[in-house]
């Protein structure tokens, strides 16, 4: 259950850009510069902006998720591993962005049924990403400077093929890296100095 919570956090982080775009597209704050202008009231303002407020809350949850991710990966690490074969797969970030985020913003979120469809799609995509462990394909992590690699690596007692490494540094073959396990085949790593 704890691992699923972490995966859900990373999925929410991956939707940061979508939430920001939803706020921009749907925010409804009336401006009046004439003499007969008056404030419409907080209740009316709130009711006109439920979707942007929910998006703002999710954006804040994403910020908290990023801070928690940074904190978790800065903690203790395991015995170093040696990279034997490496393939940079940063294109995974762009795939998620272009396939899911950009088309979803085209929904007319002022109509309830389209908003409901968006929610169902987000939950469905999230479930698929959690089940397939594709949560590392995260455009927000790319914006924050993280790289994704698919590697074959030599652990102290085993050899693992095609594991996923997430790093803030550029990695190369024969690098030794310390790691922190995020999921079965997914690790956060730092190059050994």
pLDDT of residue 9: 84
Domain count, the chain: 1
pLDDT of residue 76: 55
CA 93 distance to own-chain centroid: 9
Check residue 186 and report its DSSP letter.
Answer: E
Check residue 169 and report its DSSP letter.
Answer: S
Residue 145 backbone class (left: φ over 0; alpha: ψ -120 to 50; beta: rest): left
The residue that leads in pLDDT, 133 or 18, is 18
pLDDT of residue 170: 92
Average confidence score pLDDT of the chain: 84
pLDDT of residue 163: 94
Counting DSSP H helices and E strands in the chain, the numbers are 8, 5
Angle at Cα 122 formed by Cα 118 and Cα 124, nearest 5°? 115
pLDDT of residue 104: 74
Structural domain including 101 reads: 2-191
Angstrom distance (rounded) from CA 188 to CA 168: 9
Predicted confidence (pLDDT) per residue in 45-101, tens digit:
888 899 899 999 999 998 898 888 777 767 656 678 999 999 988 876 666 666 667
Per-residue pLDDT at 173 exceeds 90 = yes
Predicted confidence (pLDDT) per residue in 7-16, tens digit:
888 888 888 8
pLDDT of residue 71: 78
* Integer CA distances (angstroms), 193 to 67, 154, 189, 190, in order: 25, 18, 13, 9
pLDDT of residue 87: 92
Alpha-carbon dihedral sign for residues 96, 99, 105, 110: negative
What tokens does 188 get?
């956060």
Range scoring the smallest mean pLDDT among 12-26, 62-76, 172-186: 62-76
This prediction's pTM: 0.76
Angstrom distance (rounded) from CA 55 to CA 115: 12
Per-residue pLDDT at 179 exceeds 90 = no
Cβ pair 136, 186 in contact under 8 A: yes
* Percent of the chain residues past pLDDT 90, beyond the cut: 21
- Give the model's confidence band at 160: pLDDT under 50 very low, under 70 low, under 90 confident, else very high: very high
Mean pLDDT of all residues in 20-28: 89
């Amino acid at each position: 259950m704890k691992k699923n919570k972490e995966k859900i956090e990373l999925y929410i982080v991956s939707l940061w850009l979508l939430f920001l775009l939803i706020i921009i597209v749907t925010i409804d704050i009336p401006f009046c510069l004439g003499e007969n202008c008056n404030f419409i009231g907080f209740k009316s303002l709130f009711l006109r902006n439920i979707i942007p407020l929910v998006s703002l809350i999710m954006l804040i949850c994403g910020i908290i998720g990023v801070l928690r991710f940074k904190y978790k990966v800065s903690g203790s690490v395991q015995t170093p591993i040696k990279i034997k074969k490496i393939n940079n797969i940063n294109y995974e970030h762009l795939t998620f962005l272009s396939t899911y985020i950009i088309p979803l913003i085209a929904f007319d979120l002022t109509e309830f049924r389209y908003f409901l469809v968006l929610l169902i799609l987000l939950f469905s995509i999230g479930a698929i990403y959690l089940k397939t462990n594709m949560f590392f394909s995260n455009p927000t992590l790319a914006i924050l400077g993280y790289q994704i690699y698919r590697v074959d690596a030599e652990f102290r007692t085993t050899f693992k093929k095609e594991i996923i490494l997430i790093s803030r540094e550029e990695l190369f073959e024969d690098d030794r890296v310390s790691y922190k396990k995020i999921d079965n085949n997914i690790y956060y790593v730092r190059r050994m100095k």
